[in-house]
A and B are shown apart, each in its own frame.
Chain A
Amino acid sequence: MAYAPPADWSGTIGLVQIGSTKAEGGTRTISYRIGGNGGLPFIEPNGGLTRPLVAYELCDDPAYWSPLVLERLGATTADLASWARAAGAELGADLVRLYLTSTKRRGFDDFDAIGTAVRTALGATDLPLIVEGPNEPSIESEAFRRIGEAGEGERLLLGTAEAARYRSVAAAALAYHHAVIAQSPIDVNLAKQLNILLREIGVPHEQIVIDPYTGALGYGFEYSYSAMERIRYAALKGDADLAMPMISSAVDSLTIKEVRDAPPGEAHRTAVAWEVTTGLAAAVAGAAIVCVRHPDSVAPLKAALTATWGSA
């Protein structure tokens, strides 16, 4: 039986540029334009321009990171440049997502270090960069300004705007021409509200990527899948305030009970299985970027996405 779309789509997902090549004013060897689809990815012929991208997540202060990753990568994680370099060159990620975990330290005020970290990551990899700033109100304004400034011209994807705090990250994105991750807690209406708030303070749609938020498979992902599906349906039916590409990161995949309680030697395999499966499902639900943390997750997830994409 031939596949019939669930509705007559009238909308198209907007295009968002991530990264900037030399020709575009930056220093990346590649830049992406995510979104652009007028149908459901993997299912419909106009489901997307390119295969969903895999972002590899790392941080500038590994004290706050999964021990599995630290164990697997060893000394690499102690040096941000090496880690960022490995993400592309060794692991084969499409993008790098840098979490500025150093800002979580109590009394953090070393704003210069933030700029340095962003520049270090940009220098170490030629892939487009996603930068996750702090979520502490007292420092975020200055922190995002520094992040934005350090990445000027590189078309970063800045995270994360939430309904309760979006002004600082939006201001940095507007001032330095970056894109913004707009995260809302697994609800189509809340996603739309945040996009409206961002639009109303001047962030154009082509600078917004929706993060519908998720837990790992079995830990809330089912709700996220449904929220993502609804966001995609609403956008394809013509709701412009939801017509942005989506990013998904099931960050708790490495810390769930199944991984913690895995028999000795099985933890890595379990973590990777969970991350890859969740990531693949997120892409099918409509995510244009899926993020992973375990170094062994990148290759299988990319392979799965490529194979599934190719067969669609």
Chain B
Amino acid sequence: MPVVTFLPSYRKVEVPTGTTILDAARKAGLQMNVVCGGVGKCGKCLVYVKAGRAEFDRQKYGRFFTPAELGRGACLACTTAIVSDIDVTVPEGSLIQEQKILIEGLDLTTAFRPSVLKYHVTLSAPTLEDPSPDLNRILDAIHRQHGPLPEKIFAPLGVLRRIPEILRGAGWDVTATVGLQPPGKYWLLNVEAGDTSDRLYGVSIDLGTTTVVAYIWDLVSGKVAGIASNYNRQISCGEDILSRVNFGRKSGLAKLQTLAAESINTAITNAANQAKIDRNDIYEAMVAGNTVMTHMLLGIDPAYIISEPYVPVVRRSINTAASNLGLSVAPTAGVFAFPAVSDFIGGDIVADVLACGMGTSDEVSLMIDIGTNFEVVLGNNEWMFSCAGAAGPALEGGEVLFGMRANPGAIERVTIDPATLKPHWKTINDIKPKGICGSGLIDLLAELLTSCVIDRNGLIDTTIDHPRVRKGEYAPEYVVAFADETGIGKDLVVTENDIKSLIMSKASVLAACAVLMNVAGITHRDLGTIYFSGGFGNYINKQNAITIGLIPEVPLDRIKNIGNGAVNGANIALINRDERRTLDVIADNIAYIELNAEPSFMEEYTSSSFLPHTDLALFPGVSAMLDRCRIQAHGNGIRHTEA
């Protein structure tokens, strides 16, 4: 079998002939960037074959690379089959890097009512006169020293097995951990030697398709102790949910369950290290994830969610012990998985709804969560409608020639001077630009529109005589940064095709909002607050989001970011057990609108496939602004006059 050596790390791996470089890289533990799931569509998994033989179809895939790159042996890892022993150089840009993930200060006000408590108790040793069992001694002591307990406390077998030794070893001075777990029963979760009552933690987790975020809370002081995030390690089984479910069908669900748990464990470990705490002092975990992710973590087969008639196995909230899932917290810790609304509106969205508080307000709010897919919830304390759709990867930098995730070197902000068409950009970490991430692309679209480089259909005005506006090799393009300004050594451009992808993405989001408003019988004038959930919302320029028609036009002060709504919702549920009880009711109250079955969706989509929208009356502010921009643009002399 051929041996593959990956440079510069010198990782070696032996694989059967015909294996793709991508699979070999996975085997070698390299996390390659495969936006398309490894089907030769995104061109992001560039590698250089330095020595040895591999089969790569240049005819079909050569378009992703420059002649110079091809000369150096460039090929796509996902479509290149290994023939003999080879050496492969993997450029840094082809690997998944540390991502900038939203981690902001919490701005929550909710009652501090955790559902786990620790009781430090000193017991009397048993005697012939007082021979009551160990368990009763503990419970009686709690009752005596901390007041009456509300109900009977159950003790799991695992705890009972350890009690006698601990009690005697500790000289009858112990700390008991008691948790209230659904359906409203108290459980003795642990008994430890000595006084550990100041060490009690909970963790809330956003289990995303791409990233996992963990917040460790000190459940004694009610403060955040540590925060960490990392990639969902399932990415090695496919970038998007669909490819992962298919992976599960072929290779078994167990691997996906393990990877989900490991991803969470990595986040918990990092957060615990940051907080300098022992993970075994974590007695409760709240998990908010989409429906498929939640199924996978729980080890429930999600295969029937992704094809007609799209049925999840369960949508109510689930409680289980951490040990059942392989989470590295106290084995008896309760894990609470958020309930889902439907196949595509998962626990993460229910958490969003909890975090923004729209379900308890009279005002009609719109909550938009944009990621690989998008979810929209509209409503108030009386009614709620939700829908979900594919925004396409464009808003996250996928399927855009120079699109990239929000990694260092990504252009995240852009302005264009309408008089000179010169762009000013800011990159993440302020290094030379390597690509453009979602917020940068939205800025670009808005700025190209307001400087009249593109029309409302997204077409570049090639009559403009300017070095940054070019016919391009495949499509007209605008040069965001010339080769010498970049960190990639080639001109960084945005093409008309990229712009079309972006418009398609933004049109689906806006059309989804419109469909929900139609269903509810309201207009954009009835909208109170628009909430953005997800990292995206925090970095996005609100005005530009309206200018391109990603969201309905409302006054800017009515657009709010709830940050990572999934984790914030999980935080609320963690620290206030009463909120947890309402979640199944909230989930039940959210009606799900299937966009594919909604006849008005295509119509709304077509109307929305225009910047900002075909019906200008819906965007009066943008419309007036664009009128001014056009007048300005025609006065600046850099374009050929049309007549």
* Chain A positions near chain B (C-beta within 8 angstroms): 163-164, 167, 170-171, 174-175, 187, 189-190, 192-193, 196-197, 200-202
Contact residues in B for A197 (Cβ distance below 8 Å): 455-457
State which of A189, A190, A200 has its C-beta within 8 Å of the C-beta of B630: A200
Across the interface, A192 reaches (CB within 8 A) one of B455, B461, B614, B630, namely: B614
Size category of the binding interface on chain B: 10 to 19
User: Distance in Å from the Cβ of A230 to the closest Cβ of chain B?
Assistant: 10
Task: Return chain B residues, CB-CB under 8 Å to A190.
Answer: 606
Residues of A within 8 A of B609 (CB): 193
B643 contact set on A, CB distance < 8 A: 171, 174-175, 202
Q: Is B607 an interface residue (CB 8 A)?
A: yes
Given contacts A163-B459, A174-B642, A193-B609, 20 further A-B contacts (CB under 8 A): A163-B457, A164-B457, A164-B459, A167-B461, A167-B463, A171-B643, A174-B643, A175-B643, A187-B606, A189-B603, A189-B607, A189-B610, A189-B614, A193-B456, A193-B457, A193-B610, A196-B456, A197-B455, A197-B456, A197-B457
Residues on B lying within 8 angstroms of A by beta carbon are 455-457, 459, 461, 463, 603, 606-607, 609-610, 614, 616, 630, 642-643
- 27 A-B residue pairs with CB within 8 Å: A163-B457, A163-B459, A167-B461, A167-B463, A170-B642, A171-B643, A174-B642, A174-B643, A187-B606, A189-B606, A189-B607, A189-B610, A189-B614, A190-B606, A192-B614, A193-B456, A193-B609, A193-B610, A193-B614, A196-B456, A196-B614, A197-B456, A200-B455, A200-B630, A201-B455, A201-B642, A202-B642
Contacts of A196 in B (CB 8 A): 456, 610, 614, 616
- Cβ of A202: which chain B residues have Cβ within 8 Å of it? 642-643
**Which 3 A-B pairs give the minimum distances between C-beta atoms?**
A174-B643, A189-B606, A189-B607
Complex: chain A residue closest to B627, CB-CB: A200
Please name the residue on chain B nearest to A190 by beta carbon. B606
- Asked if B630 and A167 make an inter-chain contact with CB atoms under 8 angstroms apart, the answer reads no
Bound-state CA distance A174–B461 (Å) is: 17
Total A-B Cβ pairs within 8 A? 40
> Which residues in A have their C-beta under 8 angstroms from that of B607?
189
Find the B residue at minimum CB distance from A175.
B643
Alpha-carbon distance A77/B456, docked complex (angstroms): 42
Q: Which residue in chain A gives the minimum CB-CB distance to B603? A: A189
**Which residues does chain B contribute within 8 Å of A171, judged by CB atoms?**
642-643
List, in ascending order, chain A residues with CB within 8 A of B614's CB. Answer: 189, 192-193, 196
Residues in A neighbouring B610, C-beta threshold 8 A: 189, 193, 196
Tell me how far the C-beta of A8 lies from the nearest C-beta in chain B, rounded to whole angstroms. Answer: 19
Residue in B closest to A173 when the chains form the complex, CB atoms: B643
Minimum Cβ distance to chain A for residue B403 (Å):
22
| Cα–Cα, bound, A167→B455 (Å) | 11
Give A202's nearest chain B residue, CB to CB.
B642
Closest to A177 in B: B643
Q: A164 to B643, alpha carbons, bound, how many Å?
A: 19
Q: Which residues of A contact B616 (CB under 8 A)?
A: 196
Q: Chain A residue with minimal CB distance to B630? A: A200
- A24 to B381, alpha carbons, bound, how many Å? 66
Contacts of B630 in A (CB 8 A): 200
Q: How many angstroms between the C-alpha atoms of A191 and B86 in the bound complex? A: 56
The interface residues of chain B lying within 8 Å CB-to-CB of A193 are 456-457, 609-610, 614
Closest-by-CB residue of B relative to A172 is B643
Residue of B nearest to A164 (CB): B459
Closest residue to B462 on the A side, CB-wise? A167
Closest-CB distance, A224 to chain B (whole angstroms): 16
Q: Which of A174, A189, A190 has the most CB of B within 10 A?
A: A189
CB distance from A218 to the nearest CB of B (A): 23
